Structure 1
Amino acid sequence: MPLAGAAMAQEGGNATDLDKVTVTGSLIPQTQIENFTPVTVISAEDIQMRGFTSVADVLQQSSYQTGGLQGGQTSASFTQGAEASGMFGLDPGYTKYLINGRPMANYPALYNGSDTFNNISGIPVDLVERIEILPGGQSSLYGSDAIAGVVNIILKKQVNGLSINLRGGMYSEGGGDSFRVSVSDGWSSADGRLNLMGGIQFETRDPIWGYQRDLSKQYNTQGYSAPAASRDYVVINGSARNTYLFLDPANCGNVTGQFDGTEALQTRAGFGRYCGSFSTPGYRTLMNGKDATQIYAHGTYDVNDNIQLYGDLLTSHEDVEYTAGSSYVWWGTSAKYGYYYDPDQDAFLNLQRAFSPEDIGGQGFKDILNTDKNRSYQVTLGGKGSFGDWDLDVGFTRTEYKLTEKNWVRFADPINDYFLTHVLGPQLGEESGYPIFRPNYAAFYQPMSPSDFASFTGFVDTDSKTTDNTLRAQLTNASLFSLPGGDAGLAIVVEGGTQEWNYTPDARLLQDPDTLESEIWGLTSVNGAGDRDRYAVTSELRLPLWEPLTVTLSGRYDAFKVAGQTIDKPTYSIGVEYRPVESFLLRGKYGTAFRAPTLSDTFMGLSGYYSSNTDYYRCSLEGFTPGNTDDCTYDSQQFFGQQSGNPDLQPIEADVWNAGFVWAPMNNLSMSVDYFRWDIRDEVDQLSSDQLLLAEYFCRTGQTNTASASCDNALAWVTRGANNEIERIYTPKVNVSQQKLEAVTASLNYVLDIGKWGSLAFAGNYTNNLEHTVTPLPGDEPIDLLRDPYNMWIYDAYAKTRADASLGWSIGKWTTTAYANRIGKTPNYLAYTSGSWDYETGGQKAGWWAPYTTYNLTFNYDATDQIRLSLLVNNALNKMPEEQAKNYPGTSTTPWNNYLYNIYGRSVYLEMRYNFGK
């Protein structure tokens, strides 16, 4: 069967067919579905039966997803409006994503402000035929990025008449109400030569707000320390270890109406009094709201019996809304002045003032939501034909992704001028390099009008775009010559194209390189633009040496012309299949993989970011040591960081191999076990700011440096001012890091006929990361990401194991499925923050959070041949990570590991599918 313009499995075969089909992980048609590389297939029926609501939901609940992810729950991340996924705890950018076998468009914004990845949000789940997940290094067939594996989302090529799907849903805890409708149909000409299929999916979803969940509507009330209110109006005394001065003559009486009447006089032990609220964490979104429309079309035209033309189009329009919440909606003097000197108090002070829904006016925080406008398309045009024993497929694909981020901002000069006019008054000189003010403190402890708030706030747009043009030709001969085990096969692929990335923020977001100041208060951005040409040649040779033994060889050469130089990389693999009997397959593969420097790695300009970490050095001046900094003044110190691209970067390289078996002793039973190993070198890495500050502390205090940065780098990359305050942290991109990873996966499928009671179907998948280490810089000791509690969090919160299982019961017109998803144990908060398994405080101990399992239930009833009615209950037991809150302090606004767990709770969906074609 000729390859339909794709590099992975196409329509036209199943496990019992004797005709040759193109299977996942190979370019050459063959009769065996299982080969030397394991493949997980999630069908459209699986997606519906297990209650998955989106393609992102499918992949994020996969047993391969053992690492934590940033997204809608991770407030103030660079890509809070996007949805990512990965495999085996490796970065999302290490997985190659395909739609119908063709690479997806990269998301223009950068994951964690640094890395290129794919946003998997805009794919119409109702139009998916199946999703194929191919784990392990696959660069010898698919090129750059295929280090962790490949995911191919295959959309429908044909439908049996007009089909309409309606789904409405809600969460039992509130928020997240959604409605989805999809329509698809197919047409054929009278002579059968022209075949068209088209579909459209529309979805709208409300956000989930923090105040709609008990764990996030307030500061942690279940923690090992007493809950502490937010510091909404506070005067911080830098002359007395950052304790508080309370200078409000009205004792907060003028602001008690703010935050829905929860503002009041508060006290923090050891610090002092201030005005604050326990309810401010609720004013953020936990799940993004969105309106999305996707349109998909597929068509073929048979020129004659040997030649067929084909085309695909997928376009997506998606608007996503979110806010990081009140913790990021404030003003303070520290950003501009560091401190100011008040001669009346004879102290160096800072003011900090949060803005409330009443200050904003209107609908409060709903009026300052950020909006990401996503516009993307993928179009493919091509033709394929057979010429004797040879099949030729030539196709052109163009992808484009445009993103406009409309961000709410505070304008620096207007907001500072407002508080100069209303609170600080004129500058009266300088003291020790700091400005002198005599503020009107009574005016500071006052609400403001919405018109005043509007005078220094607004929205700015950041526009970005990626494009990818690819011309691809594949020549295949499945019967090149005869061998004792069957016909040898050969495939040769030649492709070339161009890629472009452009990220252009509003110029006001960028810092002046000399003063480090920008026109936007408290917010910065990445920036950059670049393009490259690329070309590749791929070949695969399948050799059935004798009936039980088949060897497959593949090789690929990739070259990228970028920034005036050529970066190239050859890769290869050797796969072995051995079948001593038809029901048992031993398989293995060794190969090399790589990831070319991304356009953002190469062309990112000097870009900024804001973050906060423990300033270990300044804490040491107060007598605190790492792991015991809760009461340190600088335990959570905000800083300005910078990063930039590097045109001299080289490809990331990896050696990857797998070995395993598949056993199918009966037609209705199959199982597999596979072992994987990665050795990844020359990774493009940016040292975490926490590790950098820890190294700097060791170096400045003359201790043995056990952190992951040399003293030379730590002292050069952390810039401090005259008073030891952090002015800047610089984290350049360099080829320095190494990773080693070992994992084992297992799967089991069993179908049991129980006579008049119908049939039962069981499916299960399991992943166990046996070893995972990272060496951030040459000469460093490897960091154990599976057993070192501190680094398990720093590197995106790993779970060592993950599993899923489903049990379906079909009888007559009814089908019921129970689906379970299990996250293995992970280190708790005290283990992470102390970096030890022995730490204890407030009656809570460092250790592990227990495995975490959620359950979905679906009930389907075929009312007629055309109508299916469904009830889907996801997280049926309303599981929440509530036990985790006990291990967090009362100062926490997010007392759960939001990289791996969510607090959405139970959701219920009603669905009707009407197929007019049946």
Structure 2
Amino acid sequence: METASPVVTITSEDIQRQGFRNVSDVLRAQPLSTGAVQDNQFAGFTATATTISLLGLSPSFTLILLDGRPLADYPLLYNGQSNFTDLTSIPTAMVDRIDILPGNQSSIYGSAAIAGVVNIILKKRIDGIQLNARVGGYSDGGGDNERLQLTGGKQWDQLGITWGLQYSHQDPIYMHERDYTDTTDDNPNPDLRYGSRTFIILNGITGLYDDPGDRCDDVAHLFGGTTFKDFRPGRGDFCGSRAQPGYATLLNEEKGLSGYFNGSFALNATTDLYATVLVGRNKAKNDSGSRFWVPDYNGSHQNYVWNDTEQTLETYQRIFAPEEMPEEARFYEADSDSYSAAFGIKGALGESGWDYDAYYSRSGYEVTSDQLWPLVEPMEEFFRSQFMGPQLGTYYGYPVYAPDKDAMYQALTPEQFRAFSGNIHNVSRTWTQNLNVQVVNSNLFELPAGDVGMAAVLQAGNQFWDNPIDPRVQGGDFFGINGTSGRGKRESQALGLEFTVPLFQMLTADVALRYDRYRNVDAGSDSAPTYKVGLEFRPTDTLLLRGNVATAFRAPDMGYIFTGGNGFFSNETDFYKCEVDPDNCTLYTGISAEANQVGNPDLKSITADSYGLGIVWAPSPDFDLHADYYNVGIDDEVVPQSTTQTLFDENECRQGRLDINSARCQDALARVVRTAVNPGNPQLSENVDLIIVKGINIAEENVSGITAGGNWRFDAGRAGHFNLGLEYNLTLEHETRSSPDSPALDLFSSGQLLSAEFKSIVTGDVGWELGRWSANVHGVRYGSLPNYARQFTSDPADPYVTSNGVGPGTIRPWMLYNLSVDYDLTDNSTLSLIVNNVRNSRPPKDPSYDGSQGFAPPYYNIFAYNGYGRSLWLEYRIDFGAGD
């Protein structure tokens, strides 16, 4: 069962026993899944999708297969940049087992198998009908959910069919339903425990808020009656709500329906026809919290207007409460339709010893999304008519108004909000299809030490990605929102060979070679040969020493090649304005600069090398131990050009410190777009309007670590039968370089939230069976993480501290326990109680992550932890089947 490469296998019984909700939870709880990822807690680019990060590497570096066949990418881009595979659409009812092969596997599976391969195997044979019903929720409230699974099958002489249906529903969990995420009073810094500024008038000259007086009384009912006159140190009094951040969801509302069919028909004793179809529909809603308004958002006047009545510079902010917004404005709704199908023929080629498998497979994904969002001009017009009045001209470039401040402190109606908003409707889709022929001969010829085996694969296919965007979004018509778009198609062909060669009685070599070619339609093409050599040394029947060396690649990401524009905002320093206007440099530090990532059709494949060593000892069927070392090095990794470096280079070129005619300067100058010269007001002259970047093959990354574990099964007589299991992953090193000549960044000394990685993860199981009873406790220990303060220094001894006096350090480990208890009511029915996070452990807070960097609650790393809390389910299973 063990080969030159370690394989982690998770059976459907493991999923049931360990109490996981879905396939995503199963995979994220594995010790190999060390990296942080975006999920339901982040209302960003892919809030309705789930994925994993094996070995702490990008989700796009893990190849996820269904029955050994590729799944279509999720149509939206992960973090607005790269393609990835969504796990939400895979129903647990149909899963037979999941195999995880860590490390480079491209010589067998092709592109994207750098961090490893996850192969989800669906059930192929069921006799009779099985019903599984589950209902439950969370002890702290919210998230009530139900799941109904119905599976079945029948075998005849020549025909066999297996089928399944799954329905699931889940209510949302709101942040206000957890006492550690409900208000800004949870802030670890006492000096920052004030409300969100739902109504403010900021004086641009003094930097102070206008005292609202008793105007807050008029809006006190908003945010559930939590709006009041609050105080911010250094700014003054304002109308705000400390509960405002709690009106965002931690967990999505979801409904899912899946259907599965697998059939096989024996044409004769050696030939079978087969077909597999999996379809699913998932409806998800997530609430990212309130929308807001400021005048002239991100325009050339930096949000400020001249108050003609008071002869001063002002800006305004207005955060809309749930009571003011229609439901379609609060929720981002996404309907996802997916399918995966394969049709093939397999069998033996006469008496030749060759077996074959030829099939056509196709997988597709379509996401339809809708959300009501404020439009810039109608909303500006609404607030001009409500309290700003008509524009009275300009004053040194600033628009002049005589606002009626009393009129600002008035609640809106949902109808008024709807009147200045528009629906953003997008339909995005992907598909991938392949023709595949595989041949296998386990006895190609004989050597003195045994038979040489061979497998070969010939594959041809194409894939398509279409992620359109509402042209009004790209044109800036919607307020404070940008998006990603792109469309592309590419073709691929591959030829692969694999050999098993017994060199000696105790030594076997596994050799794999593969060549892949990609041609991007209307863009570049690329090819990649890969290989893998593994050695299996068995000095005894119970001991295996193994090692492997391999190469891998990631084909140029379609998101990076074909993107039609990925808009985002970045906090930057305008080096040029600081140099020409040094007295006001603080005005040009920490600016919110708009950037746009464009496609790069000249990208090449990311390449990787890896090697590993391991040992497996299994002295009996009931006891085994294993340990493996892995090392993966990645070259030519694609990263977007740095916006900070772009602004720095642009200034160096403008000042003559770099040759302005050089290619470097011409590139930087072309990618920084500035507003027009304003001789009357230097502060409004030549400000950064847009920074243009693209993905380039330049970064490097290296990760190494050790995995180990074991299992022990024993019979304790009258006390029952016990199963003990332990798995461990320790990442020894993980470094990245933004370019070959840049210093290495140790990710374990970085406080970057999204790239956070657990240095160690340990999982353990204690299982027990006695008569009709069985139980299992599954524990996970996530190791420590660097705190957010580490983001600002690579040296733990650096004197840097955050605003509440917290310096670089680490966040404590986090431990979770799942419990499942089963009782067999009859020979064919079981009642189960499942409790996840038995101790209701809260995510570890980061005292340095206090919101002073512009973040709102929750005050923990949402990419590494979840704040859902304890969940409980009651489940009933009955098997109407006959036979084994």
SS where residue 245 of structure 1 aligns?
coil
Aligned length: 857
1:302 maps to amino acid: A
Identity of aligned residues (%): 35
Q: What does 1:171-186 correspond to in 2, within 5 Å? A: 171-186=138-153
Shift of 1:458: 3.8
**Structure 2 match to 1:674:** 628
Shift of 1:698: 11
2:814 maps to amino acid: Y
**Structure 1 match to 2:2:** 34
1:335 maps to amino acid: N
Q: What does 1:690-769 correspond to in 2, within 5 Å? A: 723=683, 726-769=688-731
Q: Which moved more, 1:299-308 or 1:352-361?
A: 352-361
Confirm whether residue 259 of structure 1 aligns to residue 223 of structure 2. yes
Shift of 1:325: 0.6
SS where residue 520 of structure 1 aligns?
coil
1:473 maps to amino acid: V
Contact persistence 1:220–1:889 (CA under 8 A): no
Confirm whether residue 770 of structure 1 aligns to residue 732 of structure 2. yes
Contact persistence 2:748–2:786 (CA under 8 A): no
Shift of 1:125: 0.6
**Structure 1 match to 2:763:** 804
**Structure 2 match to 1:335:** 298
Q: 1:616 to 1:370 in 2, by over 3 A?
A: farther
Output the CA distance in 2 between the equivalents of 1:575 and 1:434: 70
SS where residue 636 of structure 2 aligns?
strand
Output the CA distance in 2 between the equivalents of 1:764 and 1:729: 50
1:800 maps to amino acid: K
**Structure 2 match to 1:22:** none
Deviations 1:672-711 (A, max 9, x none): 111111111111112565787799999999999xxxxx99
Contact persistence 2:93–2:164 (CA under 8 A): no
**Structure 1 match to 2:789:** 830
Contact persistence 2:258–2:279 (CA under 8 A): yes
Deviations 1:191-238 (A, max 9, x none): x10100100000000011111011221114351232021111112233
**Structure 2 match to 1:686:** 640
Confirm whether residue 196 of structure 1 aligns to residue 161 of structure 2. yes
Contact persistence 1:830–1:888 (CA under 8 A): no
Q: Which runs of 5+ in 2 are unaligned?
A: 659-663, 676-681
**Structure 2 match to 1:663:** 617
**Structure 1 match to 2:536:** 577
* Partner residue of 1:548 out of 458, 483, 506: 506
Confirm whether residue 591 of structure 1 aligns to residue 550 of structure 2. yes
**Structure 1 match to 2:598:** 644
Q: Which runs of 5+ in 1 are unaligned?
A: 1-32, 512-517, 626-631, 705-709
2:196 maps to amino acid: S
Q: 1:769 to 1:633 in 2, by over 3 A?
A: farther
RMSD between aligned alpha carbons? 2.7
Q: Which moved more, 1:886-895 or 1:820-829?
A: 886-895
SS where residue 16 of structure 2 aligns?
helix
1:529 maps to amino acid: R
Output the CA distance in 2 between the equivalents of 1:501 and 1:676: 34
Contact persistence 1:785–1:795 (CA under 8 A): no
Shift of 1:894: 2.1
Q: Which moved more, 1:432-441 or 1:93-102?
A: 432-441
Deviations 1:2-53 (A, max 9, x none): xxxxxxxxxxxxxxxxxxxxxxxxxxxxxxx211000000001100110111
Output the CA distance in 2 between the equivalents of 1:299 and 1:60: 31
Deviations 1:772-793 (A, max 9, x none): 1111124211111122x34xx1
Output the CA distance in 2 between the equivalents of 1:554 and 1:397: 23
Q: What does 1:429-468 correspond to in 2, within 5 Å? A: 429-468=393-432
Output the CA distance in 2 between the equivalents of 1:167 and 1:716: 58
**Structure 1 match to 2:127:** 160
**Structure 2 match to 1:491:** 455
1:397 maps to amino acid: S
Q: 1:679 to 1:422 in 2, by over 3 A?
A: same
SS where residue 298 of structure 1 aligns?
strand
Shift of 1:730: 2.8
Output the CA distance in 1 between the equivalents of 2:243 and 2:753: 28
Q: 1:146 to 1:215 in 2, by over 3 A?
A: same
Q: 1:458 to 1:606 in 2, by over 3 A?
A: closer
Q: Which moved more, 1:433-442 or 1:485-494?
A: 433-442
1:360 maps to amino acid: M
**Structure 1 match to 2:66:** 99
Deviations 1:418-455 (A, max 9, x none): 11211222222222222122222111121122221110
Shift of 1:834: 5.6
Contact persistence 1:333–1:350 (CA under 8 A): no
* Partner residue of 1:229 out of 170, 182, 195: 195
**Structure 2 match to 1:394:** 358
Structure 2 length-normalised TM: 0.92
Q: What does 1:512-523 correspond to in 2, within 5 Å? A: 518-523=476-481
SS where residue 560 of structure 2 aligns?
helix
**Structure 2 match to 1:44:** 12
Output the CA distance in 1 between the equivalents of 2:65 and 2:817: 29
Confirm whether residue 856 of structure 1 aligns to residue 818 of structure 2. yes
SS where residue 603 of structure 2 aligns?
coil
Contact persistence 1:36–1:589 (CA under 8 A): yes
Output the CA distance in 1 between the equivalents of 2:582 and 2:136: 53
Output the CA distance in 1 between the equivalents of 2:190 and 2:583: 21
Shift of 1:397: 0.3
Q: 1:253 to 1:689 in 2, by over 3 A?
A: farther
Q: 1:174 to 1:552 in 2, by over 3 A?
A: same
Output the CA distance in 2 between the equivalents of 1:198 and 1:835: 54
SS where residue 384 of structure 2 aligns?
helix
Output the CA distance in 2 between the equivalents of 1:617 and 1:234: 31
Contact persistence 1:225–1:889 (CA under 8 A): no
SS where residue 419 of structure 1 aligns?
helix
Shift of 1:119: 0.7
Q: Which moved more, 1:429-438 or 1:711-720?
A: 711-720
Shift of 1:264: 1.2
Confirm whether residue 141 of structure 1 aligns to residue 108 of structure 2. yes
Q: 1:310 to 1:367 in 2, by over 3 A?
A: same
* Partner residue of 1:609 out of 554, 568, 577: 568
Contact persistence 1:220–1:888 (CA under 8 A): no
